Structure 1
Amino acid sequence: MSDTSGWGPQGPRGQYGPYGPQGPYGPYGWNGWTPPPPPPKPGVIPLAPLGVDHILGGTFATMRRYAKPLFGTAVAAYGLVAVVMTAAAVLAYVSVRDHWRALSEPGGTFSWDDGRPVLIAFGVVWLLTLLATLAVNSFIQASCAATLHEAVLGRPATFGAIWRRAWSRTPSVMGVTVLLAVILLLPAATCVLLFVSFFVTVLTQSAVPFGLIFLLLLVVTPLAAWLYVLFAFAPAAASLETAGPLQALRRSVRLVRGAWWRIFGISLLAGMIVGAVSLAVRLPLQFAAPTPHPVDPGSSTSAVLLDQLRSQFGLYAVFTLVASFVTQLAASVFLPLVTAVLYIDQRIRKEGLAHTLAQAASTQGS
């Protein structure tokens, strides 16, 4: 079986697979008094319509059995981006070092002759950081889908194979990720406008701006959630079906249609799991934070700030940084995997993908 065989929009059995709505045992799963045999399970999930336990269990099983290609590609991608961004920041500082010193020296005044090069240099670094973050997040989503492709069939996956397959699909996933990011920015931008309108209301003593933005927030937030779930399968479709961004978006709409609330609920549950784990990691670190040095009334503001910063560095800072990175790494893998398993579940329910996967697994085993 090739990497993309059987993952297109139509499986060989059309709409109904061997364990779909009209399986081999009738609509109720029984043929007389004979119970149906369990569905085949060559990999991390059974090849049948999945429940929540199978979706979450398959996700955790994939993370456990395929930890090296999953987390290895993610760590390598984050590490590569960190090296590139550090080099870009160093180059930006070196290129405007004289202008920076002119602005930061004691008694110096701001001038556009010095400020413009600094703003342009670090603006370029910020833009490069934004693009690099978009690329690495898209790459990790593609690598999760590529790893799940092998995990469902019970086949081994190597770091090099996953890297190559994910890299080839990253541009298409990036196109989808941009749209999903814009959708998420809608309620965020509205919240910023609501915050600004509050101060306008206080200054002008007029509640009209605040009320209008609040009503806009009530409309934008449900709309953004609906669109985000509607297009949630697009990264998986772009990776597993080698679809372009627009084709992947259309595929996601067709697969989500009729199951929006179920997909929303399971995705929300996955997000709550990530939030609970992150909170469980952060709370002990917050309680273990070192006590800042007492403030001396005679000390200058800069000395006070320096003492406060020193109290937060050292071993505690190392533990905090490592814990934050591990939590972010796990979340960046867990959430795309849950979405990809949901995508396969909808393909099984609507297109009979279970039959295609069972044939591929049996061919692999023979």
Structure 2
Amino acid sequence: MAQQWTHRGGGWLPPERPRPGVVPLRPLGPGDILGGALAALGRYGGRLCGALLLGQLAAGLLVTAAAGAAALASLSPRSGNRVFVWVLFPAAALFLLFTCALATALIAALLRPAVLGRAVTAPGLLRAALPRTPKVLGAQLLALLAAAGPGAAVLAAGLPPLVLLPLAPVALWLGVQFALAPTAAGYEGLAPVAALRRSARLVRGAWWRTFGWTAPAVAFTVGAGYALLVWSGLPGALSALVLLPAFPQLPAGLLYVDRRIRREHLAEALAADPDRDPVIPG
């Protein structure tokens, strides 16, 4: 259907793109991404945190059960506290990894309703996100391994820290190249390796733009988490676990939408048929 030009502001202007949800259906500028992230938090933040809390509660029950078993085992005079430490620390690490992966999967599940302005529920978000959380976690771990693996190997080999200096630009470049992989895994259901390839294709030609949005969000999250821990102790740390993992993923998710709009004409596809979202690799 042909679009009609309209007379606005003393002249003839092209038609405005529709905005059914938190962002307009057109290539997004910095204001659109920031405003869209804040609008998504305002409109869906309660349900997003509710879904994350539900998932964390289920995972927390498993961690508590493992810690309880470790505590019982540590009562043995032979094992002392070693079993407790060996079980508790890995369980806590897995809980943190699960929380970050679930937050990303929830944001990916929220993207389509948020862009189209549709209602969601916390249980509905959780049902959509949980099946793809393992793939998101795999993509996160692979992206981290690609970026930080060589540096970790250098440190593990006992080489001088100065050897890391030439690796730092490579690590940064790879980290940004794969920054959209977790969102791609959650939104499209891609396997981890396919999600990394998908991220590299979407970031191609927009490395600095991707860096400009992901790095400040990660820095803010780390700083806010540290501040909550220092100012509020354990309650602050628990609040950070609930609230902060989702924040960096909102700008990254909207940046993912922007890259697909620019490269794959996603806006036109959604405007023409909101119930169909074709994935166009390439």
TM-score higher than 0.5 = yes
State the Cα deviation string for residues 103-142 of structure 1 (Å, max 9, x = none): xxxxxxxxxxx24x75345323333333333233212211
1:271 Cα shift? 2.8
Q: Specify the code of the residue in structure 1 equivalent to 2:208.
A: W
Question: TM-score, normalised on structure 1?
Answer: 0.66
Distance 2:212 2:139 in 1: 22
Match of 2:186 in 1: 239
1:281 positional shift: 5.1
In 1, the alpha carbon distance for the partners of 2:118 and 2:175 equals 32
What letter matches 2:180 in structure 1? Answer: F
2:88 aligns with one of 120, 125, 136:
125
Deviation at 1:236, TM superposition (A): 1.4
Q: CA deviation at 1:188?
A: 6.6
Gap change, CA 1:247 and 1:35, over 3 Å in 2: same
Aligned to 1:165: 128
Matched ranges for 1:250-289 at <5 A: 250-275=197-222, 277-278=224-225, 285=231
Which residue in 1 is equivalent to 2:8? none
Identity %, equivalent residues: 35
Alignment partner, residue 272 of structure 2: 359
- Cα–Cα, structure 1 residues 189 and 280, in superposed 2: closer, same or farther, change >3 Å? same
- Cα displacement (A) at 1:259: 0.5
- After TM superposition, the score normalised by the length of structure 2 is 0.84
Give the match's secondary structure for 1:232: coil
1:49 is the counterpart of 2:63: no
Give the letter for the 1:176 counterpart: A
Assess, with a 3 A threshold, how the Cα gap between structure 1 residues 245 and 275 changes in structure 2: closer, same or farther. Answer: closer
Q: Partner of 1:134 in structure 2? A: 97
* 1:237 Cα offset (Å): 1.3
1:32-79 deviation line (CA, Å, top 9, x unaligned): x73222211000001111111111111111111012321111122223
The Cα shift of 1:324 comes to 3.1
2:263 aligned residue (346, 350, 353): 350
After TM superposition, the structure 1 = structure 2 runs for residues 97-108 of structure 1, keeping only pairs within 5 Å, are 97-99=75-77
Corresponding residue of 2:107: 144
Which ranges of structure 2 fall in alignment gaps of 5 or more residues? 6-10, 277-282
Q: What is the one-letter code of the residue matched to 2:268?
A: H
Q: Distance in 1 between matches of 2:25 and 2:234?
A: 40
Bigger Cα displacement from structure 2, 230-239 vs 132-141: 132-141
Q: Deviations over 1:140-159 (max 9, x none)?
A: 21111101221100000111
Counterpart amino acid of residue 228 in structure 1: G
For residue 178 of structure 1, report the CA deviation from its aligned partner. 1.5
Assess if the C-alpha contact under 8 Å between 2:37 and 2:254 holds in 1. yes
Q: Quick one: distance in 2 between partners of 1:347 and 1:254?
A: 10
Partners of 2:74 and 2:82 within 8 A in 1: no
The SS at the match of 2:31 is helix
Contact 1:78–1:136, Cα closer than 8 Å, also in 2: yes
Q: Does the alignment pair 1:64 with 2:42?
A: yes
Structure 1 position 347, deviation (Å): 0.3
Partner AA of 1:122 in structure 2:
V
Report SS of the residue matched to 2:257.
helix
Distance 1:118 1:275 in 2: 31
Structure 1 spans left out of the alignment, 5+ residues: 1-17, 26-32, 100-113, 198-208, 286-318
Match 1:321 to one of 234, 254, 269: 234
Q: Whose Rg is larger? A: 1
| Counterparts of 2:66 and 2:222, CA distance in 1 | 32
User: Which structure's relative contact order is higher, taking Cα pairs within 8 Å and 6+ residues apart?
Assistant: 1
In structure 2, which of residues 73, 76, 89 is the aligned counterpart of residue 95 of structure 1?
73
Question: Cα RMSD over matched residues?
Answer: 3.0
3-state SS in 2 of match to 1:38: coil
In structure 2, what is the equivalent of residue 40 of structure 1? 18
Aligned length: 270
Hey, what does 1:11 align to over in structure 2? none
Aligned equivalent of 1:292: none
Q: Distance in 2 between matches of 1:129 and 1:264?
A: 30
Paired position in structure 2 for 1:314: none
Describe the shift of the 1:150–1:86 C-alpha distance in structure 2 as closer, same or farther (beyond 3 A): same
Aligned partner of 1:9 in structure 2 is none
CA distance in 2, matches of 1:257, 1:187: 23
